[in-house]
Amino acid sequence: MENQGTDEAMAEEEAHPYAFHVSGPRNVASPNWRDLINSSWKNENYKRTVIACFIQAVYLLELDRQENRTEENALAPMWWMRFKYKLTQTLVDERDGSIFGAVLEWDRTAAFADMILIRPSGAPKAVLALRGTLLKSPTIRRDIEDDLRFLAWESLKGSVRFKVALDALKSVAENYGSCNVCIAGHSLGAGFALQVGKALAKDGIYVEAHLFNPPSISIAMSLRNIGEKAGFAWKKLKSMLPSSSESQATNMGDKSSTIGFRNWVPNFMDKTSIGLKKWVPHLYVNNSDYICCYYTDADGPQDKNANKENLGCTNFTNGQVAAKLFVMSKGKQKFLEAHGLEQWWSDDVQLQMALHNSKLISRQLKSLYNLPAPQPTHVPQ
């Protein structure tokens, strides 16, 4: 009877809805020796799928912790072991002890056992994955606290998670080189990933970033939109003023516009064309998800002069985009489905790459490219 009970428990674990073989990707093979000749990581669909699985692993690390799972029945490991990675660090929120992130590194030993003698081209040496909000009693308070922080300020820098994630990313970038490191997140985790990646980019450290359903709703955004509309209205009024008032009106117009694109575009293009080419985050959004859908809003007032006068970040360097925006094209969906992580590894995923100007991307990356003027160098006599 005891053995029968053990077998039933094992069967239950195997059928868990979050087990990799139950809800994981169906048509993604584990790496093998063929990847040495033609690496699967060069395929954008494969890369998106695997990185989304790494983020799912972080959700499950916290669920495993909450449900007191052991190494024998833990759900999370298969979500990285399948792709020849290993867990080297967990990121813990000191406020409640919850796991909100993890560093996964290429597992040379596991790869060598399957005759993969070297890391396939394009496979990162390390990935920092960050989960989003987990509506469970041990984590909901701190997760919602950071959600509200973003809602109010459109910034997550005040959270303890920001510093922990930033320190972890700096560490792996120093160990492996920024070109071999990737940061990824879903929902709230995508918000952290964007801001942490941007903070490193300001220091000249550019890591690959993959952001799934990044948050785009905030009170701060709404207030800025009001400011933008006021600035646009003033510009229209200014055009009707006598020419003798033009100089004064220009100064007033500059102050009333929240994002003053015309003031900083020339300096931006002169100083940061190289930077734009180095840090290009990948954003995956669904128009049916009201949390991230505003990333698809076009930049600038929609009139005939908008493209000339309000250039978004996607056009600053002769068509070189500042972010790659992938939009789910399944039509209207329910919110939970549209915001879910699982959609990004589904077999029938249909994406469109959007290269049009995005107002939110422009604003999110504006501070990154408003670089200070170079300091004069003192030459000894």
Q: What is the mean pLDDT of residues 218-231?
A: 55
What is the SS3 assignment for 108? Answer: helix
Largest CA distance in the chain: 96
pLDDT digits (tens, 9 = 90+) for 273-292: 444 456 889 999 998 998 99
Tell which residue, 185, 290, 303, has the closest CA to residue 233: 303
What is the SS3 assignment for 18? Answer: coil
* 283/311: higher pLDDT: 283
Q: What is the mean pLDDT of residues 341-353?
A: 87
> Is residue 202, in this structure, part of any structural domain at all?
yes
Q: What confidence category does residue 175 fall into, taking pLDDT thresholds of 50, 70 and 90?
A: very high
CB–CB of 133/185 below 8 Å?
A: no
What is the SS3 assignment for 86? Answer: strand
> Is residue 300, in this structure, part of any structural domain at all?
no
> Is residue 331, in this structure, part of any structural domain at all?
yes
Order across the sheet with 181-186: list the strands: 85-92, 99-106, 126-130, 181-186, 208-212, 282-286, 324-328, 351-354
- Other CB atoms within a 10 A radius of the CB of residue 170 amount to 18
Q: Determine the pLDDT at residue 218.
A: 67
Distance CA 270, CA 256 (A): 25
pLDDT digits (tens, 9 = 90+) for 153-167: 888 998 999 999 999
Q: Determine the pLDDT at residue 112.
A: 92
> Is residue 236, in this structure, part of any structural domain at all?
no
Q: What is the mean pLDDT of residues 288-317?
A: 57
> Is residue 45, in this structure, part of any structural domain at all?
yes
Is the whole-model pTM more than 0.85? no
Q: What is the mean pLDDT of residues 198-211?
A: 93
Q: What is the mean pLDDT of residues 187-216?
A: 94
We report the CATH number of the domain holding residue 32 as 3.40.50
Q: Determine the pLDDT at residue 14.
A: 60
Q: Is the CA virtual torsion 281, 340, 347, 287 positive or negative?
A: negative
pLDDT at 340 over 90: yes
Q: Please state whether 204 falls in left (phi above 0), alpha (psi between -120 and 50) or beta.
A: left
Residue 72 domain boundaries: 20-225+279-295+323-369
Show the tokens assigned to 156: 């997550």
- Other CB atoms within a 10 A radius of the CB of residue 138 amount to 14
Distance CA 263, CA 259 (A): 9
Element (H, E) at 118: none
Q: Determine the pLDDT at residue 244.
A: 45
> Is residue 98, in this structure, part of any structural domain at all?
yes
pLDDT at 381 over 50: no
> Is residue 309, in this structure, part of any structural domain at all?
no
Read out DSSP for 233-280?
HHHHHHHTS-GGGHHHHHHHHHHH-SS-HHHHHHHHHHH-HHHHHH--
Q: Which residue matches tokens 């080297």?
A: 88
Q: What is the mean pLDDT of residues 201-223?
A: 84
Tell which residue, 59, 1, 42, 48, has the closest CA to residue 25: 48
pLDDT digits (tens, 9 = 90+) for 71-110: 899 999 999 999 999 999 999 999 999 999 999 999 999 9
pLDDT at 24 over 60: yes
Q: Determine the pLDDT at residue 309.
A: 28
pLDDT digits (tens, 9 = 90+) for 292-301: 988 888 765 5
Distance CA 1, CA 212 (A): 47
Share of the chain above pLDDT 90, in %: 45
Task: Please give the tally of structural domains in the chain.
Answer: 1
CB–CB of 79/56 below 8 Å?
A: yes
pLDDT at 264 over 70: no
Q: Determine the pLDDT at residue 372.
A: 53
Kindly provide the b/e burial profile for residues 90-118, where b requires at least 16 CB atoms within 10 angstroms of the residue's own CB. Answer: ebbbeeeebbbbbbbbbbeebbeeeebee
What are the contacts of 224-229 at 24+ separation with CB within 8 A?
A: 224/258, 224/259, 224/363, 227/256, 227/257, 227/258, 227/259, 228/257, 228/258, 228/259
Q: Determine the pLDDT at residue 13.
A: 55
pLDDT at 304 over 50: no
Q: Which of 100-109, 123-132, 136-145 has the lowest mean pLDDT?
A: 136-145
* 354/239: higher pLDDT: 354
Element (H, E) at 44: helix 44-66
Mean per-residue pLDDT over the chain, rounded: 78
Element (H, E) at 105: strand 99-106
Distance CA 265, CA 299 (A): 14
Element (H, E) at 209: strand 208-212
Contacts of 335 (CB under 8 A, 6+ apart): 288, 289, 290
> Is residue 25, in this structure, part of any structural domain at all?
yes
Q: Determine the pLDDT at residue 220.
A: 58
